[in-house]
Amino acid sequence: MGTYYAVKVARPPAGLTPEALRAGIERVLGGVIATLSTYDASSELSRLNRNPSTDWVPVSDALRQVLAAGQRLGAVSDGAFDITVGPLVNLWGFGPGAHADAVPAPELIRAARERVGYGKLELRADPAAIRRQRGDLYIDLSALGEGEGADRMAAWLESIGATDYMAAVAGTLRVRGKNAAGRPWGIAIEVPDPEQRSVQRILPVTDGAVSTSGDYRNFFKAGGKRYSHHIDPHTGLPVEQHLASVTVVLPAGTDSARRADGLATTLMVMGAARGPALAEAQGLAAYFILRENQGFRELTTTVFQQIEHSASANERK
């Protein structure tokens, strides 16, 4: 998926060697890539994207679950999150193909927009299948792939008896238990500036999922403007941002990293004007960093403030 992973296991189960850990993790992530990566032409999703059928097409249950998670986010966000946004992502040069680093012609944007809309597909659970209204829909699950990877790694770590771990794919991770020093895992939130690579804040987390979405790594500049990889499906354009990054924290659960991953991207697409209100209304623990004048301003939801308070109360115990 064009990214990296990191796994730490404290107090590992007896007999777990670093080699076995690496092999197990890479097998798990290989499975995720084979299901949903658009960077792998032989993945199940890439094959589906090449299949022009507008009839029901069988899919694996693993793929159906990620598609369904994407569709739920589409509904919650009124289409700000949209798994059919792929043609626009690729047109703007943020997909697996060529990166032109240039603004596409308006007629190309218009043509790509015609192919976008999460209402243009239907899912069926049993047997797992998808039906698309157009043969040229192109589904992009990149905004959920990191989280799916982190959840699958966590499930495998649980299955081998690990009780204290941190498992991350890029900016999305699952943690459980304590670190090697016996303290909560410290999750660093970066200063949203590619030049700096310094830490804005450290969140102590013992059992949960964390995902940070930002516009400060994957972007290009043209004509003095910056264009980032979060595309507003309603306009066909990258979202213009005062929002530099969003971090979502959820309690641990089987799909918590995937939900945190998708929600963080959703809040980025909704932007500074609408994102914080949605996060508050959904009762999410979310931490926003807004760009302001020369610096940054932080904004947190009520639930985020509550978990911060209880974390610092635990620290004092």
Binding positions for ligand ADP, rule: CB under 6 A: 81-83, 85, 89, 94, 140, 142-143, 146, 171, 213-214, 229-231, 233, 261, 264-265, 268-269
- Nearest distance, CB of residue 14 and Mg ion, angstroms: 36
* Among ligand ADP, Mg ion, none, partner that 214 touches (CB below 5 to 8 angstroms by kind): ligand ADP
CA atoms of 212 and 248, how far apart (whole Å): 7
DSSP track, 168-230: EETTEEEEESB-TTSSBEEEEEEPS-TTT--EEEEEEESEEEEEEEESSSSEEEETTEEEES-
Dihedral sign (CA 233, 237, 241, 243): positive
* Among Mg ion, ligand ADP, none, partner that 269 touches (CB below 5 to 8 angstroms by kind): ligand ADP
Among 220, 282, 222, 221, which Cα is nearest to 246's?
A: 282
Pick between residue 46 and residue 179 the one whose CB is nearest to ligand ADP. Answer: 46
Pick between residue 21 and residue 268 the one whose CB is nearest to ligand ADP. Answer: 268
- Nearest distance, CB of residue 146 and Mg ion, angstroms: 6
- Nearest distance, CB of residue 12 and ligand ADP, angstroms: 29
Binding positions for Mg ion, rule: CB under 5 A: 143, 213, 261, 265
Pick between residue 35 and residue 179 the one whose CB is nearest to ligand ADP. Answer: 35
Please, which residues have CB within 8 angstroms of residue 158's CB and are 6 or more apart in sequence? Answer: 176
- Nearest distance, CB of residue 56 and ligand ADP, angstroms: 24
CA atoms of 87 and 107, how far apart (whole Å): 13
Alpha-carbon Rg for the chain, nearest whole angstrom, is 20
Pick between residue 171 and residue 208 the one whose CB is nearest to ligand ADP. Answer: 171
Pick between residue 110 and residue 309 the one whose CB is nearest to ligand ADP. Answer: 110
